[in-house]
Amino acid sequence: MNERNKYRLMLKCVEIKHTLSIESEASLDVDVFNPDIDESLQITRQEFEKMCAALLNRFQEVLKQTFSKTDIFSSDINKVLLVGGGCRMPMIKLFLHQVFTKAEHSSVGNPDEMVAIGAAYYSSFLMSKNDSSNCNIM
């Protein structure tokens, strides 16, 4: 497969991930990427979540390690702000509800934009520590 088709396949896989966040199944027409294969592949949300289980387990371990280094428990968290594209995935939402059972779960605006805005605020904060000039980002 040439580089162009690899890139197009990657974009289609991202699209499938997004589709599985709102629908129970998605499909991929293989012949679009390889005309020698006349086949359509189906994937269900359940199959996708099974494939992502190891990644979710890693996320859970990071949370455990983070809480173990502080005097904060998951039950102390009263609000979870859902940001980033992953928060649209039902398995992520469910996981966060299971970990932060007492917290209010909310999202504001476009989750992808919120990550960029947060990064800009953090960058401004870091710059203000090193430079006395005022930095406006919005």
For the chain, the structural domain boundaries read 3-50, 71-130
pLDDT, position 36? 86
Number of Cα atoms under 13 Å in the Cβ half of residue 111: 13
Q: Position 130: which residue type?
A: N
CA pair distance 19, 26, nearest whole angstrom: 7
Per run of 10 residues, the mean pLDDT along the chain (length 138 residues) is 88 94 94 85 96 94 93 92 88 94 89 85 85 54
Question: What secondary structure letter does DSSP report for 19?
Answer: H
Tokens of 65: 């390690």
87, 111 Cβ separation under 8 angstroms:
yes
Q: How many residues does the chain have?
A: 138
